[in-house]
Each structure stands twice: as C-alpha cells, then as structure tokens.
Amino acid sequence: MDHQVRRWLVDISKWNPSKDEFLFFVSLLPQNEHSAISRFIKFEDRKRAFISRLLQYSLVNEVLGIHFDKIIIDRTIEGKPYLLNNSSPLVLPFLVLSFRSMPTEQKYRGIINRYWSLKEAFVKALGAGLGYGLHRLEFHHNNWTNISVHIDGVKSTEWRFWLFKFDEMRWAAVAKGPPKDAAESFQKISPQLATEEDLNTVELHENPFTLLTWKI
C-alpha cells in the first residue's frame, strides 16, 4: 500500500494570481467544486481551497492513472471526498494531514498550533466535519512523542498521531485510526474502507513531504 502514498506540501506564498487568472484556474475544475472555493471571503483562503481540490484530482491521476477529465469525486454530507470512478466508491485510508499556523504570542504559539493541528487531523480522519465537538478531545504526549487521544475523558488505544515541524510558525499533524470510527455517512459510502491490515502497512518516515510550488 505504501507505493500509493503521496506526501505533498504546496508552497503558495509566492503565487499571486490576478482575479481573472484565478477564476480561469478554478474554471478548470468540475463545476461542482466551484462553490467550495468561492464561499470563502478572503482571497488567501480561496487559494488554499483551490489547491486542496487540485491536489485531490492530482493524486487520483498520479496513483490510479485516471485522466483529469474522467475523475469523478463526490463528498459526504460532512465534506469527506471519495472517488466514484470505480465499480464501488473508493475512499482513502485514515491518514490525514492537518496544517496549522496561528498568530499569537511567541511563547504559546508552538503549543497552540500543535494541539490545534492534532484536533483537526483527528476530526478530518473521522470525516465528521465541523460539527464534531473539539472540546471532547484531550491529547497526551511524552515531549510530543507517543501521542494519544482521550475522547470524552476515555483514552483511545487505536489512534496514532505524528507531528511535523516546518518552522516555529507552522506544524502539521497526521492521524491514523480504525475505519470503524468513521462518521456513519462515510461508512455507508462503501464497505471497502481501508482495513486494519491496510493501515498497519502504512508507515511514516522522518521526512515524508515532497515540496511542490506553483508554476505557470
């Protein structure tokens, strides 16, 4: 399964398209993806939303060899993506990256960013959407290793977490857990969710990301 894993980090800090250029790029995505991008008020958030969608199509194209024009991606009511090109919907393993940078005082910034990244990674892995109460989660760690999660005060032994530091401002978190914990709407999509055996074959490495930049 590891040969199907892609770990991409996209730097869009120097990508400053004009309004017309950006609208053209968005128009290259299927029509049903447009509203998920235009709903954001800030242009920087729209850029991130566009890159997020583009990466999903790029992943399917590279791993499965499906041409961009033929890729059909749908989403659960909570927004979890799944592929409809197969005979049955194809969903991704519970291996989810959350990236977070928050402006705050230097002393606390790194701690806040790490905790928030872990929470986002967990909720995204569940496919639960924003409706999941983040107050239910409490993370324990040993100097930010051997990270575990307590849900409603009860420790879960089935979830694993990794943190990656890019700099003092930015952290990424990866969550890996059992498919049976997925949101009900996600489980109904397909009985072919990644199995425990599948997930156990996925290992992370110390430097797991390939840096991508936007070029025209």
State pLDDT tens for residues 163-212: 888 776 778 888 888 877 877 776 666 555 555 555 555 555 555 677 77
Angle between helices 19-27 and 43-64 (to 10 degrees): 30
Per-residue pLDDT tens over the stretch 108-157: 777 888 888 898 888 888 877 667 787 899 999 998 889 999 999 999 98
Query: Is pLDDT above 60 for 20?
Result: yes
How much is the pTM? 0.73
Task: For residue 173, list its beta bridge partners.
Answer: 98, 163
Closest to 95 (Cα-Cα) out of 145, 160, 168: 160
pLDDT of residue 114: 86
Domain with CATH 3.90.470.20 in the chain: 1-90+206-216, 95-177
Q: Are 152 and 141 in contact (CB under 8 A)?
A: no
Q: Where are the alpha helices (DSSP H) in the chain?
A: 19-27, 34-38, 43-64, 106-126, 184-189, 196-200
Please indicate whether residue 36 or residue 76 has the higher confidence score (pLDDT): 36
Superfamily of chain region 95-177? 4'-phosphopantetheinyl transferase domain (3.90.470.20)
Q: How far apart are CA 84 and CA 137, in angstroms?
A: 32
Q: What CA–CA distance (Å, rounded) separates 213 from 216? A: 10
Structure confidence at residue 50 (pLDDT): 93
| Residue 55 contacts residue 63 (beta carbons within 8 Å) | no
For the cut 80, the answer to whether the pLDDT of residue 14 exceeds it is: yes
pLDDT at 102: 54
Report phi then psi at 50, rounded to 5.
Answer: -65, -45
Q: pLDDT grade, residue 46 (50/70/90)?
A: very high
pLDDT band at 1 (very low <50, low <70, confident <90, very high): very low
Residue 4's pLDDT is what?
Answer: 64
3 has a pLDDT exceeding 70: no
Phi and psi at residue 213, to the nearest 5°:
-125, 160
Kindly report the average pLDDT of the chain as a whole number. Answer: 78
Instruction: Check residues 96 and 177 and name the one with the higher pLDDT.
Output: 177
Name the architecture of domain 1-90+206-216: Alpha-Beta Complex (3.90)
For residues 204 and 72, which has the higher predicted lDDT (pLDDT)?
Answer: 72
Q: For position 93, what pLDDT does the model report?
A: 42
